[in-house]
Structure 1
C-alpha cells in the first residue's frame, strides 16, 4: 500500500477553515499566489473546460443507452413542439415517474432555437442544429462538473497544492467522463449538481471545535453557501431519488461524527439552523418542482413517490435486468474509474483512517466523502436492478480521493529528482524521499503514465466514434431521405401537415435508436417494437414471470419456422389484424417505405415476404439501401452486426396505392 503523501493545509482562498493545525514542513518553499492571479486562473480553467466539453459533445457520435433520449429529449420535444409532434413518451412519463425539471431545460432550448432558426434558415439546417443542441447544452453541465471537482479538491488541499490539478487532469482524461458527461442522462446532470453541492457545503461543520471557537454557520458566507448546497442537493434528489443516499451519508457523519476526529462544533443552535435550512430550501425546490410537474402533466403529482412505488413496491425495476450483489464492486466502480481504479481503491481505504500528514479538517472531509461513497454503493447493491450510471455521481468524489496517490505515484519534487540524479551518477540507486504536494515536481514512472493515458485515449476514441454509431447515423439517413422525398412536409407544425405514408418500421430491440429528437419532422411517421413493463400484473405472479413484451415476442424463436424468430410475429401480430403500437402513437397494418433492423433479421424477413403466403401477398420486394457498422461487439445478441435499412419497394410501384389499401 503506498505511503500517505504529505498534504498541505487549505489556504485562505479555500472555504475550509483549518484553524491552528500546523502542516508538515516541506523541502520547497511555498509561495501563495496573489488573489488576482487565482481569480484569473479560475476564469481561464473554466473557459478551457467549456471549450473542451463543447468539442467533446460534437465529437461524440455513438449510442449508449436509450434513457439518454427517452427520459429527457422525447418529453423535451413534446414540451417544445406539442403533443402531436410525434414524440415517444414511454410508460414512465405516462405514469409520472420522472420529474419534468430535467427535460424542461432542453425543452426551453428547443423552443428558443426554433424561434430563431425557423426565421433565418431552411428546415434541414434547423433540424441539424436541433439534433446537436441538447448535447451542447449538456456540455455546459459537463464542464461545470469538471470545474467543481477541481474547486472542491482545492478547498480541501489548498490552492498552493498540486493535488487539485491532479484531480482536474483525472476528470478531464477519464474515458467514462468523455463518453457520458455530455450525454443527456439525468445521471449526468445529477453528477454535476452533486459535486457542486458538495463544494458549497460548509465543511466547517466537521472540523474540530477546538480549532475555531466560532459556530460554523456564523462564519461569514457559510450560511449562504449552505443554502446553495441544499438547493442543488434537493434538485439532484428530485431528479434521482437515490441521490438522497449521498446526503444521508454526509449528514450522518456531520451530526454523529462517527469515525471523525476532534470535538463537534455543532451545538443545539447550529443543529436547529441546519434543520431549518434543510426544510426551507427543500420546500422551496419541492414547490418549484410541483408547479413544473403540474404544468407539464396537467394535474398535481409527485414523481419521486411514483418512482419509489413502481420500482420498489411493484418491483418493476427487475423487469429491466437483474445484477449480482457485487456488481458495483466488480464492474461499476472499475468502469467509472478505468485506469485510475487502483488509486481510487487506495484513496477510499486511506480516507477511512486518520493520517498524520493531514489536518483534522482535511481528514474529516475525506472520511465523510469516503463514507458517502461506501454507504451509497452498499445500499444500491441490495437492489436487484443495477447500472453503472446509478453510481455516476460518485465519480468526482473518487477522483478527489484518488488524486493524492496519483500525484505521489507519478511525480517527485524537483529538488529530490536532482539529488537522485546526482546520487545515481555516483553509482547508487536510492529511492527518492516521499514527495510533498506543493512546489515544482518532475514526472516519474513515465512509461506507466504513457500507457495509462494511451489506454484512456484509445477507450475514449473507440467509445465516442466506433461503438454503436449506426444507431445515430441510420436516423440521419432516414431524415435525409424524408427531406428528399417529401420537401413540402418539412415543418415542425403538425397542424399544417398532411398525413404521409408510414416511412420507417424499426424491427429492432425497443429503443435501439433515438426517436423524434432526431427524426424531427412530425410528418415522418415511424413505429417500432415496444417493451412496456407488465404494469397490470402483481409482483411474483405467474403472469408476470411469463410476460413477454413486443420485442420479446418478435425475437422468440419458433420451431414451426425452422428455429427462426420474427416470422410468426409478422404474420400473426404485425400484419395479422392486431396491429402494432408505434412510437408515434399510430396503429394499423400499413406497409412501411423502409424497414430498419440489425442484419440478423434478414433471413426472417426474406422467409416471410418470399415464402409465407400472407407475406407474398403484400408485394414487398426487399432492397438493401443502407447499412452501417455498429461496433466490434455488443453484449446483446439481437444488436450484433450491421444496422440495415431495406426499401420495401411498395412506394416505387405504380400500383402502390392499391397494395397499401389491401393491408
Structure 2
C-alpha cells in the first residue's frame, strides 16, 4: 500500500524525475530508511555501515538531510547498550571519511581549499543569503507547502499517524523535525519537502491497509482520479517552454546556425549544457548573492531598464549574440530595439497558463540575421 500511495502522488511525478538535489536526497533517504527499518540484522556492523554511508552521502548532497539522521541514528544511540563502541566503530569513521572525501573533491575542483558543508551553513544560516531568492513566513510549510506537496495524501497520512502504535511514530517525528528546521529558514520552496513524500506514503499506506476492501478501493481510485490530471499537467504542460527552447537551440546548433545565446530571463529559468551539448557560449543574467547591502544584481539592473542594459552590455555590434531568448512579457518593450539590431522572431514556445512578475506565458526566440 505505501508503494501505491507513493505512485499516486502528483508531486512525485512532477519533481522526482527532475535533476534536482532534492530528488536525489529523497531517494537516498528512502533507501537508507528502508534498509534500517527492514533489516533483520539491524545491530550488525555491516548494516549500520551501509546505512551510515548512504546517509552520509545524502548529507554531502543536501546537508539538510542531517536532520533525518540525527533523529534516526540518535534514537538508536540512546537505545544502544554500548554507546561508546557505536560512536567509535560506526559514527566517527563514517563521519571522518565522508568529511575527507567532501573536502578533497571540492578543493580539487575549485582549485582551493573548500569546506562545502561549512559554506552551506554560512550561506543559509549565518548570513541568511537564501532570503535574496525570496522569503516566506515561518508557517508557510504548514499553511501552504505541506498541503500542496502532499495534496490528497495529507489526510490519509494524518489518519495513518493516528492509527499506528506509538513505537512506529519515529518517521513522523523525523517529518516534524524536518519541517521545523526548514521553517526556521527564511527562504522556502515546495521542492524542499520532497524527501517527506515517501515517509508520508508509509503512513497513508498503513491507513489504507486498515480499512475494508470496498473503502480501500474507493480511496485508491480517488487518489488516481484526482492526482493523474494534476501529474500530467504539471509534468507535460506546465512550464515546458524553457525545455522546448533548449531542444530547439540544440537542433539549430547541430545545423550550425547558433554562434552564441543570451537568455534575458530570471535566473535559473532554463537548463544549459545538460540539454545543449555544444561548445557555444550561453549567457544568462547573473543573480549571484552578495553581502554588500547596496549591491544590485545584474538581473535586477536588467529588469530595471532592459533597453539601456542591452545597449550598455553590447555596445559593439560584433559582440551581439546570434540568438536571444526572452519571455513574452518583455516583447513590447524590446521589439523596437530588436528591430534596430536586426533581430527577428523565429520561434515561440508555450510555457505556462499562469504567468508571474517576470515569467511569461510563452518563451520567444529572436535570431540576428546579419552576421
Provide the C-alpha distance between the structure 1 equivalents of 2:209 and 2:244, rounded to a whole number of angstroms: 41
Q: Does the CA-based 8 Å contact 2:265-2:325 persist in structure 1?
A: yes
Which residue number corresponds to residue 246 of structure 1?
68
Which residue number corresponds to residue 491 of structure 1?
none
Equivalent in 540, 548, 551 of residue 299 of structure 2: 551
Equivalent in 179, 182, 186 of residue 380 of structure 1: 182
Equivalent in 33, 48, 66 of residue 226 of structure 1: 48
Shift of 1:448: 5.3
Equivalent in 221, 233, 254 of residue 450 of structure 1: 221
Q: Does the CA-based 8 Å contact 1:530-1:550 persist in structure 2?
A: yes
Shift of 1:310: 2.1
Provide the C-alpha distance between the structure 1 equivalents of 2:245 and 2:175, rounded to a whole number of angstroms: 39
Shift of 1:639: 1.2
Q: Please state whether the residue corresponding to 1:643 is helix, strand or coil.
A: strand
Q: Please state whether the residue corresponding to 2:112 is helix, strand or coil.
A: coil
Relative to 1, partners in 2 of residues 1:590 and 1:284: Cα closer, same or farther, differing over 3 Å?
Answer: same
Equivalent in 320, 325, 338 of residue 596 of structure 1: 325
Which residue number corresponds to residue 186 of structure 1?
21
Q: Does 2:351 align with 1:630?
A: yes
Q: Let me know the Cα RMSD of the aligned residues.
A: 2.5
Provide the C-alpha distance between the structure 1 equivalents of 2:333 and 2:262, rounded to a whole number of angstroms: 15
Q: Does 2:227 align with 1:462?
A: no
Equivalent in 174, 182, 190 of residue 9 of structure 2: 174
Q: Does 2:242 align with 1:471?
A: yes
TM-score normalised by the chain length of structure 2: 0.91
Which residue number corresponds to residue 147 of structure 1?
none
Shift of 1:333: 1.8
Provide the C-alpha distance between the structure 1 equivalents of 2:56 and 2:255, rounded to a whole number of angstroms: 47
The higher radius of gyration belongs to: 1
Q: Please state whether the residue corresponding to 1:595 is helix, strand or coil.
A: strand
Equivalent in 505, 518, 537 of residue 262 of structure 2: 505
Shift of 1:548: 2.6
Q: Please state whether the residue corresponding to 1:555 is helix, strand or coil.
A: helix
Shift of 1:568: 2.7
Shift of 1:576: 4.7
Q: Does the CA-based 8 Å contact 2:5-2:204 persist in structure 1?
A: no
Q: Please state whether the residue corresponding to 2:135 is helix, strand or coil.
A: coil
Q: Does 2:313 align with 1:574?
A: yes
Provide the C-alpha distance between the structure 2 equivalents of 1:531 and 1:575, rounded to a whole number of angstroms: 19
TM-score normalised by the chain length of structure 1: 0.52
**Mapping 1:81-160, distance limit 5 Å:** none
Deviations 1:562-611 (A, max 9, x none): xxx5223223x32358xxxxxxxxxx97122222111121111123355x
Deviations 1:390-439 (A, max 9, x none): 23222211111221112334xx2xxxxxxxxxxxxxxxxxxxxxxxxxxx
Q: Please state whether the residue corresponding to 1:570 is helix, strand or coil.
A: helix
Which residue number corresponds to residue 346 of structure 1?
159
Equivalent in 29, 34, 40 of residue 199 of structure 1: 34
Provide the C-alpha distance between the structure 1 equivalents of 2:110 and 2:282, rounded to a whole number of angstroms: 25
Provide the C-alpha distance between the structure 2 equivalents of 1:190 and 1:534, rounded to a whole number of angstroms: 27
Q: Please state whether the residue corresponding to 1:646 is helix, strand or coil.
A: strand
Which residue number corresponds to residue 84 of structure 2?
272
Q: Does the CA-based 8 Å contact 1:202-1:225 persist in structure 2?
A: no
**Mapping 1:258-297, distance limit 5 Å:** 266-267=80-81, 269=82, 271-276=83-88, 277-297=90-110
Shift of 1:462: 0.8
Provide the C-alpha distance between the structure 1 equivalents of 2:272 and 2:12, rounded to a whole number of angstroms: 24
Which residue number corresponds to residue 605 of structure 1?
334
Equivalent in 271, 274, 280 of residue 514 of structure 1: 271
Structure 2 unaligned spans of 5+:
none
Q: Does the CA-based 8 Å contact 1:190-1:393 persist in structure 2?
A: yes
Provide the C-alpha distance between the structure 1 equivalents of 2:27 and 2:250, rounded to a whole number of angstroms: 33
Which residue number corresponds to residue 529 of structure 1?
285
Q: Please state whether the residue corresponding to 1:627 is helix, strand or coil.
A: strand
Q: Does the CA-based 8 Å contact 1:193-1:232 persist in structure 2?
A: yes
Relative to 1, partners in 2 of residues 1:243 and 1:608: Cα closer, same or farther, differing over 3 Å?
Answer: same
Relative to 1, partners in 2 of residues 1:239 and 1:316: Cα closer, same or farther, differing over 3 Å?
Answer: same
Shift of 1:232: 0.9
Provide the C-alpha distance between the structure 2 equivalents of 1:470 and 1:203, rounded to a whole number of angstroms: 43
Shift of 1:324: 1.1
Q: Please state whether the residue corresponding to 2:319 is helix, strand or coil.
A: coil
Provide the C-alpha distance between the structure 2 equivalents of 1:389 and 1:183, rounded to a whole number of angstroms: 11
Provide the C-alpha distance between the structure 2 equivalents of 1:595 and 1:468, rounded to a whole number of angstroms: 19
Q: Does the CA-based 8 Å contact 1:507-1:528 persist in structure 2?
A: yes
Provide the C-alpha distance between the structure 2 equivalents of 1:600 and 1:297, rounded to a whole number of angstroms: 37
Shift of 1:531: 0.9
Relative to 1, partners in 2 of residues 1:472 and 1:285: Cα closer, same or farther, differing over 3 Å?
Answer: same
Which residue number corresponds to residue 209 of structure 2?
407
Shift of 1:325: 0.7
Number of equivalenced pairs: 370
Structure 1 unaligned spans of 5+:
1-165, 205-215, 257-263, 356-362, 413-441, 487-500, 557-564, 578-587, 611-615, 652-663
